[in-house]
Structure 1
């Protein structure tokens, strides 16, 4: 009976995820998709093996090249694979949280309910649309599935060392941030009784080490690290990422603010009060989680998971756009577990509590349905981003480019002039406006 109930609950959660993300299936290629997938020689079947030594994220490119061989540049096929990966990840989240709750001493039925709520909140959160609806978001989806599979293989009553090793080794080849998986497993083992002890972690650590050595040997990854270090040194990057992380956490808890081009934060000096407050808050959260790991193991795991999952992209390495939605895909599992733990503790009675949880999940699903639909129209996608960040020039520049590529030159001129009014030194807006005035069509990465 419990297994039958678990299958029904899993089917219900997966069905809700399908409904929330369904509009993405009819979306096209937008933004980076053209350079990363459609026109990228590394993502094309005929050139994949030739370019393998020079590419980044070889497993990700292999998935693109395989689909190119099967059906060519058909966006429906790429979106369908993204959605399928998300559904597999959702099932793994449900199974892992159920296992964690059981290890923490939660009764079987309560553990299943907590797992279902966590998986549902995560699967239909608008932050996941960046990974599911956006073809280039596959790096987070593919690495997420493999990361969760490695944890599943390493934490069960029966060990699966080969599966744990292979999953941990392959995940960073889709997205480098998956190198954090061994530390996620360590957080699990710190907070929960770990069958098999540290021996279970050995295949995961060896897999991540093998991936790290391979990535370090690839010239493209060396170039990316070197470029990041030219932007900011590690200490300066850490200071900036304190603001990026807190802004990303705000986006998750305020999902109506999520956009394709999130606003970037103002960054203060090390001794300024905003910096010190953020440093104290993040360090305090980590220390509190470590102290609570025996009394409230699931809460502690949720906090540690969130901080660790955000660390690879938002600690010592600086990115051109430090505030992004995609890193919230893996980190959002911890946040969803934290919210689910809070909801099950609400003293409102089981019926009212279930109604509150259902209302939250359905509300998030409705927002995700709306966001997924934006990816079917690049103009609508960037108009939404410009409306949510009215003081930022970059969303207006991107909106102007897609308006020009859609043939609406008058709207593109007006939008690009608005961008220049906000940022007179913006060279991209000025060049695009010059091309529009000259007459030839705009060419940009957004052009099909």
Structure 2
């Protein structure tokens, strides 16, 4: 009997009904990430949200929307401000709600593709409990990636529904239109979503019985929409052109390609190395280019070799490379090893690992180890969320991971000063100055910390006057 037809009572770890499975997934999200709600606004949140007048609406918002740069993201911040004011906990609660919705979308997508309730539940749980997601879930400025990912998943769900067997043409057209609307919303949260046609091509290519003609028919409209959207963003989005110019100033395309070849395997390895996670990572050395390129080539060869025997493995290996291709090939980045872009890249691996874990758990005596695994992942996520909720701890960790980063030491000093740890802040800002003495922001912070220390120092007492003899 196929695994998907087994009674629910005979499948280890599987809730008896779909509503129970959804509730269980939401409970996992809350248990894993609730600790992050204790945090607030920090570093990039200040210019992106708190100090941006558009967050409060009004004329500043209208000017920002006219620029055309990530309007859905900006409107989400405005909605949060209307609900919470400038309370960082409220903004983080919205991020957690978006993550929970994304987990449910992964679950529904997996139910359709894997045709196995246990594998679908485990795929969604593995997506929910990835510790690297802290940079999106527990960081208010991670919102752009979270919104984009949810939009891409909704687009893929509508696409799958449109091409179900037996669906009449009129209803198919409706769901295709819904898929394009969700795609447009994803792009309006973050322009990296323009990679959707490439993801869709991969999604269709590993479907049983796929042919080049069928793939071309199903991807045609999204591809056309992506080209049109890219042209509009470039023509009318001055902010996008500014970012492109900034990227070219950092490194030329060939140099960026070499550095990404070294950095991308290190970024992907963070999925399996939660102890190495950090808000700041050191840039890879030039010696890492060849090993990195060989590692990426190995992933490609393995994906092609498994294409017929286990197509889900091909999806798991190629999805991250496709998702990261726009920002991790020819475009230079300030940070080469990153965590936030790993959020949507984890969808494909989560589906493949969910199917693999379901096969393993169906053997006798595997339910308890499975529960232990989920509990361990949830505890690791809670640890990462708690770290992000404490800026001083977050940036202390960053200076341990990247001790030569002046930015990490600068932000550590800022967090320590805000926490009232003046002696620690002075030591941290001294390290930042030693690494980059000419940075204006670091000089200004050093002066502010020094003045604050002088203001708090006790005034020297005057000698008491001796009575006249």
TM category (shorter chain) comes to 0.7 to 0.9
Partner residue in 1 for 2:27 = 15
Matched, 1:29 2:41: yes
Q: 2:150 aligns with which of 145, 153, 165?
A: 145
Partner residue in 2 for 1:180 = 195
Q: What's the offset of the Cα at 1:12? A: 1.1
- Cα shift readout 1:37-58 (whole Å, capped 9, x = no counterpart): 1111333311211232335212
Q: What's the offset of the Cα at 1:436? A: 2.6
Partner residue in 2 for 1:398 = 411
CA distance in 1, matches of 2:393, 2:310: 44
Name the TM-score, length of structure 1 as normaliser. Answer: 0.88
Change (3 A) 1:87 1:424: same
**Unmatched 5+ residue regions in structure 2?**
1-6, 9-14, 455-469
Q: What's the offset of the Cα at 1:405? A: 3.1
Partner residue in 2 for 1:241 = 260
Partner residue in 1 for 2:278 = 259
Partner residue in 2 for 1:107 = none
Matched, 1:167 2:182: yes
Change (3 A) 1:352 1:282: farther
Change (3 A) 1:55 1:203: closer
RMSD between aligned alpha carbons? 2.5
CA distance in 2, matches of 1:321, 1:205: 29
Matched, 1:302 2:316: yes
CA distance in 2, matches of 1:287, 1:164: 32
Q: 2:86 aligns with which of 73, 79, 101?
A: 73
Partner residue in 1 for 2:106 = 93
CA distance in 2, matches of 1:352, 1:394: 50
Instruction: Give the number of the structure whose alpha-carbon radius of gyration is greater.
Output: 2
Partner residue in 1 for 2:223 = 205
Change (3 A) 1:31 1:194: farther
CA distance in 2, matches of 1:162, 1:440: 61
Q: What's the offset of the Cα at 1:161? A: 0.9
Partner residue in 1 for 2:354 = 340
Q: What's the offset of the Cα at 1:407? A: 3.3
CA distance in 1, matches of 2:36, 2:348: 25
**Unmatched 5+ residue regions in structure 1?**
103-110, 269-273, 442-448
- Cα shift readout 1:238-296 (whole Å, capped 9, x = no counterpart): 1111122111112111012111222322234xxxxx42332232123223313422221
Question: More displaced, 123-132 or 352-361?
Answer: 352-361
Q: 2:291 aligns with which of 263, 277, 283?
A: 277
CA distance in 1, matches of 2:389, 2:47: 18
Q: What's the offset of the Cα at 1:429? A: 4.0
8 Å Cα contact 2:114/2:355 also seen in 1 = no
Q: What's the offset of the Cα at 1:297? A: 1.1
Name the TM-score, length of structure 2 as normaliser. Answer: 0.84
Q: What's the offset of the Cα at 1:373? A: 1.9
